[in-house]
């Protein structure tokens, strides 16, 4: 089913690579990043000029802890954002210290933080990994990834979703997630996009998995069995990730890229890199705050 909501522009940008949107319920604002610009933005749902900070390293994924403070996966580690816009190191994963950066992330229903890494600069030869961050520190869990994306966790906390949006892979997997230990097992194909590639994702209150289908210019809603149940066409060809926002979590906010494929005409896509929003009937599922960090639990 194709949905046709009224789409509004919260921030025209343009972001080079807008990513990582999250809703802050207490502050009633949306936060997201522009990775190559090294910027974090925040704005109310009414839109307007965002408040922004710039870092020395590229931010990618965002999460909130129990106190409402912002956790940032950036560069090659995890950080806490302070009130002045500075970053305090929380942890760094084992392995190579260069040739890659953090990418997409999410929390599970037990407060662990999951984040993947991707090769950067391209051609550096560093393999992509998925990490689990908890009281035991940073643990590599899934290797062999090209362009890690699509992290989300089912409502009951027992299924973790992960995609690889590299054109030569382009698949979304599901894993069984052991809530007690954080171990993953039973990797299987959940969905294979046909029109575009599987980028960032979120779960709604009916346990459906929404993902941004980059290069297809749309969002896709999947049932828990992987069937397409709805799509939403967007006025941008490269949406990157969505989140549910607002007091009732019935507003979907979508980041996008202004960096277009070689040969594209930017004049033909004036909203590329904008932050977009539209309303839906089914609310989203509020992500669990990060509750366990290294040295805790």
26-78 pLDDT per residue, tens: 999 999 999 999 999 999 998 778 999 999 999 999 999 999 999 999 999 99
Least confident of 88-92, 263-267, 279-283: 263-267
Annotated catalytic, 110? no
pLDDT digits (tens, 9 = 90+) for 155-198: 999 999 999 999 999 999 999 999 999 999 999 999 999 999 99
**Going by DSSP bridges, is the β-strand pair 2-3/228-233 parallel, antiparallel, or unpaired?**
parallel
Question: From the annotation, which residues make up the binding site for substrate?
Answer: 101, 103
Estimate to the nearest angstrom the gap between the alpha carbon of 214 and the chain centroid.
Answer: 13
Question: From the annotation, which residues make up the binding site?
Answer: 19, 101, 103, 149, 199
The fold of the 2-279 domain, in CATH, is Neuraminidase (2.120.10)
Question: From the annotation, which residues make up the binding site for a divalent metal cation?
Answer: 19, 149, 199
Q: Is 140:154 a contact under the CB 8 Å cutoff?
A: no
Estimate to the nearest angstrom the gap between the alpha carbon of 46 and the chain centroid.
Answer: 22
34, 65, 199, 215: which is the annotated catalytic residue?
199
What's the mean pLDDT in 5-34?
96
What's the pLDDT at 295? 66
Predicted TM-score of the model (pTM): 0.96
Q: Which residues contact 181 (CB under 8 A, 6 or more apart)?
A: none
- The CA radius of gyration of the chain, in Å to the nearest whole number, is 17
Secondary element (H or E) of residue 160: strand 159-164
| Phi-psi label, residue 217: left if phi above 0, alpha if psi -120 to 50, beta otherwise | left
pLDDT digits (tens, 9 = 90+) for 206-218: 999 999 999 999 9
Please state, in angstroms and rounded to a whole number, the distance separating the CA atoms of residues 151 and 164: 10
């Amino acid at each position: 089913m194709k949905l046709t909501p009224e789409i509004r522009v919260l921030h025209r940008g343009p972001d080079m690579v807008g990513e990582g949107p999250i809703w802050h319920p207490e502050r009633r604002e949306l936060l997201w990043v522009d990775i190559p610009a090294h910027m974090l933005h925040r704005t109310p749902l009414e839109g307007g000029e965002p408040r922004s900070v710039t870092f020395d390293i590229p931010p990618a994924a965002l999460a909130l802890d129990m106190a409402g403070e912002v956790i940032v996966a950036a560069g090659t580690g995890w950080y806490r954002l302070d009130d002045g816009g500075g970053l305090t190191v929380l942890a760094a994963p084992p392995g190579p210290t260069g040739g890659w950066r953090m990418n997409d992330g999410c929390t599970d229903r037990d407060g662990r933080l999951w984040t993947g890494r991707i090769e950067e600069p391209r051609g550096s030869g560093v393999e992509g990994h998925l990490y689990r961050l908890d009281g035991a520190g940073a643990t590599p869990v899934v290797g062999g990834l090209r362009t890690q994306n699509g992290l989300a966790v089912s409502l009951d906390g027992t299924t973790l979703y992960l995609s690889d949006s590299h054109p030569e892979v382009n698949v979304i997997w599901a894993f069984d997630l052991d809530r007690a230990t954080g171990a993953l097992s039973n990797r299987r194909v959940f969905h294979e996009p046909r029109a575009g590639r599987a980028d960032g994702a979120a779960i709604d209150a009916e346990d459906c998995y929404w993902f941004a289908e980059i290069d297809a210019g749309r969002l896709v809603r999947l049932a828990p069995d992987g069937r397409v149940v709805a799509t939403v066409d967007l006025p941008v060809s490269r949406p990157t990730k969505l989140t549910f926002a607002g007091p009732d979590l019935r507003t979907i906010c979508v980041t996008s890229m202004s960096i277009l494929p070689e040969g594209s005409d930017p004049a033909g896509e004036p909203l590329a890199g904008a932050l977009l929003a539209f309303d839906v009937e089914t609310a989203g599922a509020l992500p669990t705050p990060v509750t366990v960090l290294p040295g805790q639990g």
